[in-house]
Structure 1
Amino acid sequence: MFPLEFEQPFIDRVWVRTGKMIKIQAGDCMQVEGTLRAPSLPRNPGAFNEKEYLFRRGIHAVLVPAEGEKSIQRLKTVDSWWRSLLATVRERVEVTLRTLFSPGEAGFLGGLLCGWTDQLDHQMEESFSVLGITHILAASGMNVALLVMPVWWLLARLSVQPWIRLMIILPFIAFYVGLAGATPSVLRAGIMASLLLIGKVMDRPVDLLTLVGVSAWVSIFIDPLILWDLGFQLSYGVTIGLIVLTPRLTTFFSFLPSILKNALAATLAAELVSVPLLIHTFHIYTPVSILANLYVAPFVAVLVPLGFLLLFMGLLSPLVTAWLVPLGNALLYLMLKPVLFIGKKEWLLMSFASPSPVFLASYYGGLLLLVVERLKRIQVVRKLSLLMIGVYLVALWCPVSPGKQLLVTFLDVGQGDSIFIRTPSNRVILVDGGGAYKSAHGEYNVGEKIVVPYLRNEGVRQIDMLILSHPDQDHMMGLFSVLHEVPVKSVLIPGFPDESESYKEFLALVQEKEIPLYLAHKGDRWDVDQGLSLQIINPPSPYIRGTRRDVNANCIVFELDYGNRSFLFTGDVEGEVEPLMQSSLHPVDALKVAHHGSKYSTSSAFLQTVHPRYAIISVGKNNRYGHPDQEVLERLEQEGARMIRTDEAGAVLCRTDGENLTIEVTKGMHK
């Protein structure tokens, strides 16, 4: 929160974050009372950076409305003919599409024709993302051309003078750009189309690269921060790639028919430019992206003009479109059915730990040298460019090995547990996956929002062992997303019976995916890596019964030893079970404090035995349980343990070579 109280009015852009359902429209003047705070920094490696995201949009603060009905009030509506016109037309277009097509198809066509993705079906959006074809939902050059060319042709047939035609069409282009949300891709297309028409009217030769450059400068002049927008980078990068690379790539496919040759060359050109940037941002890629783009391209080429035709006819009268709607439905079915089916195959996705920006610059620098006309025939330059591209590809496919380092990351998943372990030989163990809960902003799945993105950021393509400490919601629910998104070789569970529906669903999913399932028992031991062992300390056999909560009492507790360094993971084990583990315990370097610091665990006798140097507490900020308990904190302090809480420090990263141990957090460094 900001420590200052502003007595004088000031002007700035803020993001109002509220979970309330409020119907507003463009032009509404709202009064909001609440707490002004600084945008959040990421609390886990590779997580969404709210501060950076908002800054690039010129927003410097977040306003959280106060409780109460009067914290948000509509004062008045400022009439603006432009905003009102855009809002009215958009509403009319959406109603027309919903009249002609089913909700899912209408949402897709809204994206295809006008770049509106807010009505897109979630499953459709996921499939498009998996297959790398989301770009077809960004209104761009084809859309603008299909709108402008018929109007230009019609005006020419009516013998309208070129300058008058231009004066009619330029506002028409501006209107469509505004209707499509003025996203970087449609803004680029609108500016380039306008410049192209101006050049045509002036009878001046047009250079496409010059048009791209001028439109980029105009976009940056309108909004300088757009330079850091991924959509801007992809739109201009791919456009330049299509102009420069496509003619060169067609020579490699001279044996193919002309249409297929050009389509394949254009698809490859777009992939060569966009994929490294997408991997750098999202850390995932699917090898079938090229095939998916080749498959959907013909459908898009037909559906865009057909969609505009149906839309304009439907705006006049839905009845006159009756003879064309079945054709649209058939094309949509043929296009979307395979996409939705294949897009569910999570094994198609490959994760990459993105190399540093230096390697990314090496790739694009090499690509640039390769296509510069004056340099491409110089053998030394060609070899250098290929070397620079090769360096990036090697760094991408063969990330630097951790060497002798063991990495243990306690993720900040709010009120829950999720621990990532990467061994020196790149084996991966995931312990728990956090939970899923409802907040003021809707349902929040920790696995989908935090754990899976972290795994992607780490370039994890396979989990060697997934450990569920016990089937409590705050440990298990996030693992559903993990199992759906990342291949898992084996699952370890405590085995104590639990009749909850969510646990039954978890076991059913493991069985459905044919993942080997193992039961943990005290004394089990795995030599995970050279010099690295994992030993189970709880649950015993037979299981413990008659405790305050048997599920907690029988959770998995294990020790991880690497060289002279050791970690103890305690799940939610209860204090009444701690004496039963006493014979297997000894001093450790890092302790995962049991049950988020609950008063029912971490007794003085237990702490005197394990005597941890560091105590990591995975706990949610301002949680309703009052964790961690003050008495537990006092006992840890008395024992001399340095306490690190995820609600205060974010994710906790422990690195050791078996001798030295370094612990990093997102808000500083603990030595």
Structure 2
Amino acid sequence: MEKGIALLGRNIFLLASGTFLFGVFISSFSNFSFSTAIFFVFLSALLFLYRWLKVAEAETQRIFKIIALTLLFFAVGVARYEVKDLSAPHPALLERVGERASVTGVVVEEPEHRETYELYIIRASEFDGEKILVRAELYPQFDYGDEVKFSGRLDRPGAIEEGGRIFDYAAYLAKDDIYLILSFASGELVAEGGGSPVKRALLTVKFRFIGNFERRITEPASSLLSGIILGTESSLGKDLEQTFRTTGIIHIVVLSGYNITLVASSILWLLSRLCFLSRRVSLAASALGIVLFAIMVGGAPSVVRASLMAILVLLARATGRTYHVARGLVIAACAMVLWNPKVLVFDTGFELSFLATVALIWIAPLLGEKFSRITEKFALRTIVSDTVATQLFVLPLLLYKTGLFSVVSLPVNLLVLPIVPVIMFFGFFAGLLGFLAGFLAFPFAIIAQFLLTYVLKVVEWFSSLPFAAVSLTFFPAALMWFIFALYGFMLWRIYKNKRARQAQVLLS
């Protein structure tokens, strides 16, 4: 007990982060208000005052300090969520729900292409900047920054039932302050050139890259390459996307932290080779490159998390400090939740990204020691341990959220992941050199085409197996939390015993 109190007392950062996240988590399910946050702040102030008056023993004062900090940062988490939850649909639009309506707004996010419709997110200036999700006809198509007049049926999003499972679509959209959907809409262009000039320029580069891929690599390989490098998951098509989900390899086309890490490493490596740049300038340029890339590909939670952690690594190098990856993960999580507290519970991508990173930090090294018989050539042992660790650790959440268990996920990942960096290398230069001359890009495109075809064949063959995936219609939340608690207990015991053995070795 005393050791635990002393540990928490020394690690204020861990205490503050944990209680802040817990406050946001509890608020996501409870009907708290600002009064609740004020009440906990008041209790915290009383404890701090009691400690300041020194009317108790030193050990009791330390306990009061920990409790006071716990209540304070819990209150901060509650208050931050309540601030986010103040958003509500515009009253004038609510009156039109269930009817046909015309709304003029600027497209504020990159449009998403679907097989039968286009998805736009617009900000309607005439309704105080209300964000609306628009499901529009395939044609005409509009771009980021266009001001468009859409006409369609205005509705509030509701729950979606698929495969016997209920998806709270309203809560998912609410995390981005979207409370209304305009369906079966037709659009009419009003003006062009709105939005952020920087983002508009980055998206132009992105679309030209995709065009270079499409001119030199055949479908569906070019769409797969766009997904791997630029995160354009929707370009795969519904059937192929489902095939990737069935085989548990969808993460390579949604720009996971794995992809971003490769991009960040490549940017730093290239800039470090420029002799005229100082070390700090190259690190700053690398951080800027990571930020611009994250903006260009849309800023999904996994992208933001990996980008923040990569920037923290660069900051540590620039200041000469040691980078602690676990602390970096906590900082990234708190920063993202502070910016948008609703991602903690209502964004599956955020949750999967952090669980996978936790697995890589604490579980993969343990498995690497157990897989000593696997060769280290071509980083095979690392790939196997990382794949097994992430697959096991995210499985409870995946089963709870989707009910889909991929039986073939492990072999497919082992066959595909080793060549993803190679695909990114040749694919990137095929797109880059395409801006200069086709004959320069051709050799890189040929190799990329061959590797992408290999990935597609592996995925298609494994997905055709009758036992490729098992669908569960019900996986209770209580079971998910029990499994994660079991994981946590096992990790605690393993690392506790490991530290004890290390201490014995040092003493002997």
Is TM (by shorter chain) over 0.5? Answer: yes
- Compute the displacement of 1:78 (Å): 4.0
Paired residues of 1:32 and 1:65 also in contact (CA < 8 A): no
Paired residues of 1:115 and 1:180 also in contact (CA < 8 A): yes
Q: C-alpha offsets along residues 353-408 of structure 1, whole Å, 9 cap, x if unaligned?
A: 43321111111111112213786439xxxxxxxxxxxxxxxxxxxxxxxxxxxxxx
Deviates more, 1:44-53 or 1:91-100: 44-53
Taking the TM superposition and a 5 Å limit, the aligned residue runs for 1:91-170 are: 91-157=207-273, 158-170=275-287
* Rounded Cα–Cα distance in structure 1 between residues aligned with 2:94 and 2:197: 41
Taking the TM superposition and a 5 Å limit, the aligned residue runs for 1:4-403 are: 4=95, 9-19=127-137, 21-42=139-160, 45-64=164-183, 72-79=187-194, 80-157=196-273, 158-227=275-344, 228-258=346-376, 259-372=379-492, 376-377=496-497
* Rounded Cα–Cα distance in structure 1 between residues aligned with 2:159 and 2:258: 38
- Compute the displacement of 1:202 (Å): 0.5
Question: Match of 1:58, as an amino acid?
Answer: D
Compared CA separation, residues 12 and 2, structure 1 to 2 (3 A): closer
Give the count of matched residue pairs.
Answer: 373
Taking the TM superposition and a 5 Å limit, the aligned residue runs for 1:412-491 are: none
Aligned residue for 2:3?
none
Fraction of identical pairs, as percent: 24
Paired residues of 2:212 and 2:430 also in contact (CA < 8 A): no
- Compute the displacement of 1:154 (Å): 4.2
* Rounded Cα–Cα distance in structure 2 between residues aligned with 1:310 and 1:235: 29
- Compute the displacement of 1:20 (Å): 5.6
The TM-score with structure 1 as length reference comes to 0.52
Paired residues of 2:360 and 2:390 also in contact (CA < 8 A): yes
Question: Match of 2:205, as an amino acid?
Answer: V
SS in 2 for 1:118: helix
- Compute the displacement of 1:312 (Å): 2.0
- Compute the displacement of 1:100 (Å): 1.6
Question: Match of 1:273, as an amino acid?
Answer: F
Compared CA separation, residues 141 and 34, structure 1 to 2 (3 A): closer
SS in 2 for 1:17: strand
Paired residues of 2:225 and 2:452 also in contact (CA < 8 A): no
- Compute the displacement of 1:142 (Å): 4.1
Question: Match of 2:170, as an amino acid?
Answer: K
Compared CA separation, residues 250 and 10, structure 1 to 2 (3 A): same
- Compute the displacement of 1:147 (Å): 3.4
- Compute the displacement of 1:10 (Å): 4.3
- Compute the displacement of 1:19 (Å): 3.9
SS in 2 for 1:316: coil
- Compute the displacement of 1:173 (Å): 1.0
Q: C-alpha offsets along residues 186-222 of structure 1, whole Å, 9 cap, x if unaligned?
A: 1111111111001101000001111111111222233
Taking the TM superposition and a 5 Å limit, the aligned residue runs for 1:552-631 are: none
- Compute the displacement of 1:5 (Å): 6.5
SS in 1 for 2:220: helix
Paired residues of 1:117 and 1:137 also in contact (CA < 8 A): yes
Aligned residue for 1:587?
none
Question: Which protein, 1 or 2, shows the higher relative CO under an 8 Å CA cutoff with sep ≥ 6?
Answer: 2
* Rounded Cα–Cα distance in structure 2 between residues aligned with 1:57 and 1:115: 19
Compared CA separation, residues 10 and 210, structure 1 to 2 (3 A): same
* Rounded Cα–Cα distance in structure 2 between residues aligned with 1:142 and 1:65: 37
SS in 1 for 2:322: coil
* Rounded Cα–Cα distance in structure 2 between residues aligned with 1:334 and 1:375: 40
Paired residues of 1:188 and 1:216 also in contact (CA < 8 A): yes
Question: Match of 2:462, as an amino acid?
Answer: I
Which structure has the larger Rg over C-alpha atoms? 1
Question: Match of 1:194, as an amino acid?
Answer: I
The TM-score with structure 2 as length reference comes to 0.68
For structure 2, the residue ranges without an aligned partner over 5 or more in a row are 1-91, 98-125, 499-508
Paired residues of 1:111 and 1:138 also in contact (CA < 8 A): yes
* Rounded Cα–Cα distance in structure 2 between residues aligned with 1:328 and 1:375: 42
- Compute the displacement of 1:248 (Å): 0.8
Paired residues of 2:356 and 2:394 also in contact (CA < 8 A): yes
SS in 1 for 2:236: coil
